[in-house]
Amino acid sequence: MSEIIPEARRLELLRTMLRIRAFEEKVGELFLKGGTAGSMLHLSIGEEGAAAGVALAMKPGDTFTTHHRGHGIFVARGGDVNRMMAEIAGKITGYCRGKGGSMHIADMSLGHLGANAIVGGGIPAVVGAGLSSKTLSQGSVSVAFFGDGAMQQGICFESMNLAALWKLPVVFAVINNQYGMGTRIDRASATLDFAGRARGFGLTALEVDATQPEQVLAAAQELIEHARAGRGAGFIVANCYRFYGHARKDKSPYRDEAEELEGRKRDPILNHKDALVAAGLLSEAGFEEMNGAANLEMDEAVAFAQTSELPGLETMFEDVFDPSIPRPVSVDERLDRVLGGGA
Amino acid sequence: MSEIIPEARRLELLRTMLRIRAFEEKVGELFLKGGTAGSMLHLSIGEEGAAAGVALAMKPGDTFTTHHRGHGIFVARGGDVNRMMAEIAGKITGYCRGKGGSMHIADMSLGHLGANAIVGGGIPAVVGAGLSSKTLSQGSVSVAFFGDGAMQQGICFESMNLAALWKLPVVFAVINNQYGMGTRIDRASATLDFAGRARGFGLTALEVDATQPEQVLAAAQELIEHARAGRGAGFIVANCYRFYGHARKDKSPYRDEAEELEGRKRDPILNHKDALVAAGLLSEAGFEEMNGAANLEMDEAVAFAQTSELPGLETMFEDVFDPSIPRPVSVDERLDRVLGGGA
Amino acid sequence: MTSPLPTPSPVPFGQEIEFRAALREAIRQEMRANPSVVLIGEEVARYGGAYAVSKGLLEEFGEARVLDTPISEAAIVGTAVGAAMTGLKPIAELMYVDFAYLAMDQIANQAAKIRYMFGGQIGVPMVLRAPMGTGRSGGAQHSQSLEALFWHTPGLRIAIPATVTDCYFLLREAINSPDPVVFLEHKALYVSKGVLEPDAPPMGVAVTRRKGQHLTIVTYSRQLFYCLQAAEELAKEGIEAEVIDLRTLNPLDLETLAQSVRRTGRALIVTEDTLTAGVSAELSALIQEECFDYLEEPVLRLCAEDIPIPVSPPLEAGSVPSPARIAQTARRLVRRAR
Amino acid sequence: MTSPLPTPSPVPFGQEIEFRAALREAIRQEMRANPSVVLIGEEVARYGGAYAVSKGLLEEFGEARVLDTPISEAAIVGTAVGAAMTGLKPIAELMYVDFAYLAMDQIANQAAKIRYMFGGQIGVPMVLRAPMGTGRSGGAQHSQSLEALFWHTPGLRIAIPATVTDCYFLLREAINSPDPVVFLEHKALYVSKGVLEPDAPPMGVAVTRRKGQHLTIVTYSRQLFYCLQAAEELAKEGIEAEVIDLRTLNPLDLETLAQSVRRTGRALIVTEDTLTAGVSAELSALIQEECFDYLEEPVLRLCAEDIPIPVSPPLEAGSVPSPARIAQTARRLVRRAR
Ligand SMILES: Cc1ncc(C[n+]2csc(CCOP(=O)(O)OP(=O)(O)O)c2C)c(N)n1
Ligand SMILES: Cc1ncc(C[n+]2csc(CCOP(=O)(O)OP(=O)(O)O)c2C)c(N)n1
Ligand SMILES: [Mg+2]
Ligand SMILES: [Mg+2]
């Protein structure tokens, strides 16, 4: 398969995965230091192959939605790591001015229609984006990234049926990390052949080993261009393993030791690195350099987040509606009206 | 197939279908005379084979939910046609004291957990009934009856997955009459292999021609007993044709003439009658007698409904909560409290 | 992309037209003016809409812009949300507002919150149209009035017109809104008729449909006509009721409301949604907050009973306000002896 | 059917326990007493509940009665509905009340209306538990307080406890209710502690947590503690606030509320749900209706701002009432010069 992937892309794939992992590790540390906003932080360590593989198969102008574990996907799509880190820290310099946090990062300029804290919540939006693309001849494909857990949410199937029925330029990308919180997929889904399930809704479906990132890239490219050509919506299930807990603090007591150790051996980064070294495209030193650069970049992102300001209270009332519409009347303003005069 | 079905059952199947059609025809006439409550009345003419076939495969104690087109199913499950007709007429003698109407008939004593006016709304209840059966060893199977349109509702798939995952004594019965209101299934569903779709959720699935009622009965029996034995939940799609409009008044302008004429030729009653006559189990006279009896029965039901009383206004506040809980305070009582004293 | 436009028929201003025709006309004009406006919903295309609102639009604008959908309410709304974020201006239709419960996540957790969660990067310029209310014995799952749910959801704007003129102008404004608008149409009004006036105030402006000095009746949608009927009755007895039609809940024209009540000293709120925690509660609270020192009597609420809506015609009719009950309540309010 | 019961550990009355432990104890006692009580939800079994409410229940009662589910909120509630109609007494858990939007059809169109639509033939004896409220920077989709939605739905009963004792007794009562009860637990209270008293009043009885004569503060859930803190502050200034904990919204103890306000002449409603069309609106309307002739001042509302809930800690905290703002508002109400 790798034959069809040019060398530069293969290296880009590695760099992207290293940047994802560095981002997740650094944001995880920031969380432990109390430097992030909120009690929930979901890391995608172990899933870099799925995120990078699909993301690199997308083109500028393509759109996508992600889920609660979406940092890596957006890093791969070119997200500004400073603004990402700042958002996760709840700072005014963040992508969403501190209003969204880790689970609601978005960037319209890069086609990121938003992460979502509702499992499955972001899936139908890509059907709409696909409809816009088709109706307005935008030439773009829209990709929904979500986890295996969303494969039990009704909205997922309604969306698949609609995308297939209307032959929209849409691809559903399931990052199957084997778990939904503490529940292994076989305890959540009556069948594990997700690709087969998707075919039942008229989608062209492929299943790939996401610990072999080039497989993901190749399959995603095929489905995305197939969809772009108007030949029908696609589905890709990228199998991997969630290396650590559901959220940064979760120690996964519900998983057995042996399984975790085995799972962590299935490392998309090391697999791909070995492939590149074997192909003579990369040296150990080159790898270290790449990894060092990634970590440095993320250290700087953390510094940016830490030195950024928290949003001012007045910003709370902004962004509810378009600026042309008056902002909501605050509770204090109401009290002033009723009681007369200020406090 | 019919070999495995005893003669008495085969005749019962015919009688049941005749009673369903008579019921629907009579209630349709009542509707046109303005004798029913509400603007919507959905008839199941043409679907008698699906309703009777599955219903007769069920046992006493089995439970079920139906949809907005559920009269026939309940007639087949032994519903009291007087109380059914009275309910559809909005009378106090109806199953639901006139509160439910055509789309909300229910009878706990016969396991009818209720018709539903929300497409797909009654499906998950059978998962719950299956859970009760399994947890409390009730030995019953619960069947969800719904139309092809509900095959695009998310709740349908969430329910299928859960029933399969938990190996519950549940069967999903889709009455595929080819249309959802004015939309033919191929314009609503990206794939028409509903059985295949159901297998994708772990169900044992069968597709049958519902214009051959004995096929339905045999397949339903197989799935129901399979489920009862704890071997897993089932799915049956019974293909037929909606002879007339979506609702009694709808003339189906969106369907073409030829298709309708063809469709109405696929009559489960005539098919089965011919089979019985050919098998020497029935004479033309016997058929006429059976049909006459059915119509007489339904005429009496209509008379019962017409001579019954409308509910008194005071009944409006009953049945919101259990009798042990005070009924809601009426708007007038509130006004009396505020304004002091009665009007 | 879009089928060629026929020579535009002029908007029938000054003529008497049906409520549903006014809605159709608004959609048609916006679809003609803006190729990015699309209509999405169950039976909106070939069937022409369950209540015939969209009859003829498929023929004029084609399948690419008038889309029949499967019975997938959550996906219908979710698709509209995504489309609105990427260049289209979707009008999504729910066949009954009762089905909003199937799409509430997409309505309340997504459409309403997207602009805010994403820090103002983008809005969701969509309209969610749905029939509401009683009058057809549709039963508990086909007759609800759920405007309070939407009003309680920050990020949503709500239009709830009573007249054909408001149907036309408010729907056009809604389609051009940069933020999601829930547009609620009373199913008992679809075939009602009225003269299509050439102009109407924008969202956020309440209209005083009848002047009066003895009490202020605050209402909207179908109940407006019941209130006006009641007011006529009352006038014969020398009671002059001022009747205010809110037209939109968000934005709400609190000023017009408050000024009237400060003048009359008496307020009666009439809605068709169930009383407890409904629209009438917020209106009562606001009036009390704004007019406390002017109130001669308690603010009254005449609304639907706190029960699911029964099918049997007498029960259904008896569960919501009627002209007679409105008049009687107004009488008691004005004549109340302390 | 059910795993053999271990020798029941006595309920820790008189001891200080955690809010979540009180909930766990209530479920445990009912599951021991009645084999038809089951617990259904995401991560309730092996994980022990996202907030550890059900820790240990799987071990005691087994997989047949403590069931982990897929991420299918609508089916979870729908399954509970069907189970409740056929002999089980299910306790369904939503990991966050925000997800109720995904199950609203099963909650509002089915569970709430079944008894009524079917003419009283059967009820739906289920409990729907869910964490609510702010405090963990969970953001707009994980921090909502949606009690108004449920209160506006005829057929639902709503418990919304603040104390460990109410958690225990109200949840036990809810599990035994013949009709659906939505049981809302403030996520910021799970690890709070209190003494488990041996008894508590039933649903429908509000409790006056603090006596006072200058104003009545009406609240529930976490805000009760903020109100009590504020009351302490006010006491130092000679302002004695009466603080009423509603405990349940349906049934609502209007009498206790009204009697207090008639005595103090001043009412301040404090809730964490967004203000417009929220619980505070209904309470304000009711108080005004019941106490009109006794009110010295307008009924005030201090609630969450009409915005989606932001993640950034200062914004999240600033968007809901705080002890300081409650005290300040009370001061202004009592000291208001006309
Ligand atoms: C509708 C909804 N239900 C439940 C949750 C709580 N929750 C957050 S993540 C998660 C597990 C999701 O699993 P999966 O989809 O496989 O994604 P992963 O966490 O494995 O990346 C759950 C149950 C939620 N956020 N939204
Ligand atoms: C959730 C929901 N959406 C839409 C409707 C309106 N509606 C009633 S019946 C129907 C068609 C249903 O088709 P199908 O499920 O095939 O049943 P059939 O009418 O063919 O028996 C529609 C769209 C509804 N009642 N509920
Ligand atoms: Mg997963
Ligand atoms: Mg059909």
Assess whether the C-beta atom of D73 lies below 6 angstroms from ligand 1: yes
**What's the confidence (pLDDT) of residue C59?**
98
pLDDT band at C106 (very low <50, low <70, confident <90, very high): very high
Residues 183-222 of C with CB under 8 A from A: none
Interval A251-268: pLDDT, tens: 999 999 999 999 999 999
Asked if pLDDT for residue C22 goes beyond 70, the answer is: yes
Give burial (CB, 10 Å; 0-12/13-18/19+) of A137.
exposed
Chain A's closest residue to B157, CA to CA, is: A154
Mean pLDDT estimate for chain B:
97
Query: CB C68 to CB B329 under 8 A?
Result: no
Of the residues D18, D30, D60, D73, only one is catalytic, namely: D73
In order, the DSSP letters of A217-285 are HHHHHHHHHHHHTTS--EEEEEE----S-SSTT---TTS-HHHHHHHHH--HHHHHHHHHHHTTS--HH
Interval D209-259: pLDDT, tens: 999 999 999 999 999 999 999 999 999 999 999 999 999 999 999 999 999
Give burial (CB, 10 Å; 0-12/13-18/19+) of C86.
buried
Query: CB B118 to CB D123 under 8 A?
Result: no
Helices C323-335 and B331-339: crossing angle in degrees, nearest 10, is: 10
**What's the confidence (pLDDT) of residue A341?**
65
Is residue B200 within 8 angstroms of chain A, CB to CB? yes
Q: What is the mean pLDDT of residues D46-56?
A: 97
Query: CB A200 to CB B202 under 8 A?
Result: no
Here the tokens at position C104 are 């509430």
* Beta strands D16-18 and C207-210, pairing class: unpaired
Assess whether the C-beta atom of D42 lies below 6 angstroms from ligand 1: yes
Name the residue with tokens 């488990």. Answer: D196
Atom of ligand 1 nearest to the CA of A246: 19
Pick from D109, C44, C130: which is nearest to B181 by CA?
C44
A30/chain B closest Cα distance in angstroms: 38
**What's the confidence (pLDDT) of residue B341?**
65
Assess whether the C-beta atom of B245 lies below 6 angstroms from ligand 2: no
**What's the confidence (pLDDT) of residue C10?**
86
Query: CB A313 to CB D141 under 8 A?
Result: no
In order, the DSSP letters of A28-43 are HHHHHTT-SSSS----
Assess whether the C-beta atom of A118 lies below 6 angstroms from ligand 1: yes
Per-position b or e across A222-250, b if 16+ CB within 10 A of its CB? bbbbbbbeeebbbbbbbbbbbbbbbbbeb
C214 flagged as catalytic: no
pLDDT band at C233 (very low <50, low <70, confident <90, very high): very high
Is residue D279 within 8 angstroms of chain C, CB to CB? yes
Distance of CA A55 from the midpoint of ligand 3 (Å): 18
Q: What is the mean pLDDT of residues C42-57?
A: 98
**What's the confidence (pLDDT) of residue C7?**
56
Query: CB C138 to CB B187 under 8 A?
Result: no
Task: Give the separation between CA B299 and CA B138, rounded to whole angstroms.
Answer: 37
Task: Give the separation between CA C126 and CA C210, rounded to whole angstroms.
Answer: 33
pLDDT band at C148 (very low <50, low <70, confident <90, very high): very high
pLDDT band at B3 (very low <50, low <70, confident <90, very high): low
- With beta carbons less than 8 A apart as the criterion, state whether D99 and C110 touch: no
Task: Give the separation between CA B128 and CA C144, rounded to whole angstroms.
Answer: 26
In order, the DSSP letters of C254-298 are HHHHHHHHHHHS-EEEEEEEESTTSHHHHHHHHHHHHHGGG-SSP
Task: Give the separation between CA A131 and CA A154, rounded to whole angstroms.
Answer: 20
Chain D's closest residue to B161, CA to CA, is: D70
Query: CB D148 to CB C310 under 8 A?
Result: no
For D7, phi then psi, to 5°, come to -60, 120
Interval B6-18: pLDDT, tens: 999 999 999 999 9
Mutate to test the interface with A, among B157, B172, B187 (most CBs of A within 10 A): B157
Q: How many CA atoms lie within 13 A of A339 on its CB side?
A: 26
The residue type found at A17 is M
Asked if pLDDT for residue A2 goes beyond 50, the answer is: no
Q: Who among D69, D300, D312 is closest to A37 (CB)?
A: D312
Here the tokens at position B183 are 């939309």
Choosing from A24, A119, A244 the residue with most ligand 1 atoms within 8 A of its CB, the one to mutate for a pocket test is: A119
Within 8 A by CB and 6+ apart from A33, the residues are: none
From chain D, the residues in CB contact with B115 under 8 A are none
pLDDT band at B1 (very low <50, low <70, confident <90, very high): very low
Distance of CA B150 from the midpoint of ligand 2 (Å): 7
Asked if pLDDT for residue C87 goes beyond 60, the answer is: yes
Query: CB C113 to CB D289 under 8 A?
Result: no
Q: How many CA atoms lie within 13 A of D271 on its CB side?
A: 26
Interval D106-155: pLDDT, tens: 999 999 999 999 999 999 999 999 999 999 999 999 999 999 999 999 99
Assess whether the C-beta atom of A177 lies below 6 angstroms from ligand 1: yes
Atom of ligand 2 nearest to the CA of B44: 21
Nearest ligand, measured from the Cα of C51:
2
Q: Tell me how many degrees the CA angle A121-A122-A125 measures, rounded to the nearest 5.
A: 120
Name the residue with tokens 């209130």. Answer: C227
The residue type found at C16 is E
Atom of ligand 1 nearest to the CA of A148: 16
Three-state SS string across chain D, please?
Answer: CCCCCCCCCCCCCCCEEEHHHHHHHHHHHHHHHCCCEEEEECCCCCCCCCCCCCCCHHHHHCCCCEEECCCCHHHHHHHHHHHHCCCCEEEEECCCHHHHHHHHHHHHHHHCCHHHHCCCCCCCCCEEEEEECCCCCCCCCCCCCCHHHHHCCCCCEEECCCCHHHHHHHHHHHHCCCCCEEEEEECCCCCCEEECCCCCCCCCCCEEEECCCCEEEEECCCHHHHHHHHHHHHHHCCCCEEEEECCEEECCCHHHHHHHHHHHCCEEEEEEEECCCCHHHHHHHHHHHHHHHHCCCCCEEEEECCCCCCCCHHHHHHCCCCHHHHHHHHHHHHHCCC
Query: CB C78 to CB A136 under 8 A?
Result: no
Cα–chain-centroid distance for residue A96? 16
Is residue D83 within 8 angstroms of chain B, CB to CB? yes
Interval A107-127: pLDDT, tens: 999 999 999 999 999 999 999
**What's the confidence (pLDDT) of residue D3?**
47
From chain B, the residues in CB contact with C315 under 8 A are 98-99, 311, 313, 315-316
Interval B285-336: pLDDT, tens: 999 999 999 999 999 999 999 999 999 999 999 999 999 999 999 999 999 9
Within 8 A by CB and 6+ apart from A249, the residues are: none
Query: CB A343 to CB D102 under 8 A?
Result: no
Q: What is the CA radius of gyration of chain D?
A: 20
End-to-end CA distance of chain B: 71
Q: How many other CB atoms are found less than 10 A from the CB of residue D297?
A: 20
Distances (CA, A) of D126 to C6, D79, D157: 57, 10, 11
Is residue C148 within 8 angstroms of chain D, CB to CB? yes
**What's the confidence (pLDDT) of residue A343?**
45
| Residue bearing the bigger pLDDT, B152 or C337 | B152
B203/chain A closest Cα distance in angstroms: 9
Longest dimension (CA), chain A: 78
- With beta carbons less than 8 A apart as the criterion, state whether D35 and D45 touch: no
Q: What is the mean pLDDT of residues A136-146?
A: 99
Task: Give the separation between CA B239 and CA D242, rounded to whole angstroms.
Answer: 67
Q: Who among D140, D277, D298 is closest to C292 (CB)?
A: D298
Asked if pLDDT for residue B342 goes beyond 60, the answer is: no
**What's the confidence (pLDDT) of residue D32?**
98
**What's the confidence (pLDDT) of residue A174?**
98
Query: CB A316 to CB D301 under 8 A?
Result: no
Mutate to test the interface with B, among D86, D99, D173, D257 (most CBs of B within 10 A): D86
Task: Give the separation between CA D210 and CA B136, rounded to whole angstroms.
Answer: 46
Query: CB A325 to CB C178 under 8 A?
Result: yes
Q: What is the mean pLDDT of residues D48-69?
A: 98
A246/chain D closest Cα distance in angstroms: 11
Distance of CA D137 from the midpoint of ligand 1 (Å): 17
Assess whether the C-beta atom of B47 lies below 6 angstroms from ligand 2: no
Distances (CA, A) of A147 to A44, A152, A239, C72, D196: 11, 10, 10, 22, 41
Asked if pLDDT for residue B81 goes beyond 50, the answer is: yes
- With beta carbons less than 8 A apart as the criterion, state whether D327 and D296 touch: no
Q: What is the mean pLDDT of residues D173-202?
A: 98
Assess whether the C-beta atom of C130 lies below 6 angstroms from ligand 2: no
Task: Give the separation between CA A320 and CA B147, rounded to whole angstroms.
Answer: 41
- Provide the 3-class DSSP secondary structure of residue C326: helix
pLDDT band at D2 (very low <50, low <70, confident <90, very high): very low
B124/chain D closest Cα distance in angstroms: 5
Is residue D289 within 8 angstroms of chain C, CB to CB? yes
Cβ contacts from A onto D, under 8 A: 141
Interval B41-78: pLDDT, tens: 999 999 999 999 999 999 999 999 999 999 999 999 99
Mean pLDDT estimate for chain A:
97
Choosing from C51, C95, C142 the residue with most ligand 2 atoms within 8 A of its CB, the one to mutate for a pocket test is: C95
End-to-end CA distance of chain A: 71
Name the residue with tokens 């899936």. Answer: A123
D142 flagged as catalytic: yes
Assess whether the C-beta atom of C51 lies below 6 angstroms from ligand 2: no
Interval B194-237: pLDDT, tens: 999 999 999 999 999 999 999 999 999 999 999 999 999 999 99
From chain A, the residues in CB contact with C81 under 8 A are 124-125, 128
Q: How many other CB atoms are found less than 10 A from the CB of residue D7?
A: 5
Interval A309-337: pLDDT, tens: 999 999 999 999 999 999 999 999 999 99
Assess whether the C-beta atom of D71 lies below 6 angstroms from ligand 1: yes
Q: What is the mean pLDDT of residues A199-222?
A: 98
Is residue C5 within 8 angstroms of chain A, CB to CB? no
Q: What is the mean pLDDT of residues D187-198?
A: 98
Asked if pLDDT for residue B112 goes beyond 60, the answer is: yes
The residue type found at D237 is E
The percent of residues in chain B predicted with pLDDT above 70, rounded, is 98
Assess whether the C-beta atom of A69 lies below 6 angstroms from ligand 1: yes
| Residue bearing the bigger pLDDT, D3 or A277 | A277
Task: Give the separation between CA C322 and CA C227, rounded to whole angstroms.
Answer: 8
Q: What is the mean pLDDT of residues B79-102?
A: 98
